[in-house]
Amino acid sequence: MANALTDEEVQRRFKEWKANRDEQEKAWKARLARNAARKKYANEMKMWLAKRRLELHDLLLMYKDLAPKRAAKPVKSKKPLQPPSQQKPPKGDPAFRAAIRKARLEKGWTHQEVGNKTGLSYASIANWEAGRYVPKEETRQKLVKLFGLPADLGKEASAAINDRMIATRRAKANGATA
C-alpha cells in the first residue's frame, strides 16, 4: 500500500480544499452582491425615466451627446493661403463670373448639374466662377446659351485666352521646325 495517505497529508489536503471552497464562496457572494446592486440601480433608472416620461433610447441619446468628441487632426495644406498682397488676381471678366454664378444659383443648380448639362467637369465650372481660369470661346458660348445671358458677356477675356493659346502653339511650332 504505497498509495496510502498519512493523516497529516489528509489534513493538509482538507485544509487546502476548505480554503479553496471559502475563496470560491466569497467570490460567488461578491458576484451576487454586484448583481443585486445592478438590479437596484436598473430599477432606480427605470423609475427616473418613467418619472420624466423618457425611454431608454432617450437616455442613450443624452449620453451620446455628453461623450467627448475626438478632435480631428489638423490638415497640412500643400498650398497654404497666401496673404492678400501675394494672392494672384482673379482672371477673366468679373461680370461674366458673377453672372454665371448668379444664374446657376437662381436655377438652384450645383456645379455638377451645370457640368452634366454642358458636358464639362464640375471643377471647371467652379474654377471659372472663382476666377482661377477663363473658359475657351466655345465653352463660354455654351454657358451663355444655357443660362440665357447676353452673347458678348465675357467675350473679350475668352478671346484673349484663345489668342494666347494660338500664339503659344505658333511659337512651339516655329521652335520645333527651327
What's the rounded mean pLDDT across residues 98-105? 91
Residue 32: its pLDDT value, please? 94
Place 13 in a pLDDT band, splitting at 50, 70 and 90.
very high
Gap between the Cα atoms of 134 and 90, Å rounded: 10
* Ranges of H-type helices in the chain: 7-51, 56-66, 94-107, 111-118, 122-130, 137-147, 155-177
Amino acid present at 153: L
pLDDT at 53: 87
Query: What are the angstrom distances between the C-alpha of 29 and each of 24, 65, 94?
Result: 9, 37, 81
Residue 97 makes CB contacts below 8 A (sequence gap 6+) with 90, 128, 129, 130, 131, 154
At residue 94, the pLDDT reads: 85
pLDDT at 123: 92
| pLDDT mean across residues, the chain | 85
Lowest mean pLDDT of 89-93, 100-104, 110-114, 136-140, name the range. Answer: 89-93
**Is the distance from CB of 92 to CB of 156 less than 8 angstroms?**
no
Percentage of residues of the chain with pLDDT beyond 90: 33
Buried/exposed 44-59: b ≥16 CB within 10 Å, e otherwise: eeeeeeeeeeeeeeee
pLDDT at 38 over 90: yes
Q: What is the pLDDT of residue 24?
A: 93
Mean pLDDT value across residues 13-39: 93
Tell me the per-residue pLDDT of 138-156, one tens digit each, with 9 for 90 and over. 888 889 999 998 888 888 8
Contact, 157 vs 96, CB < 8 A? yes
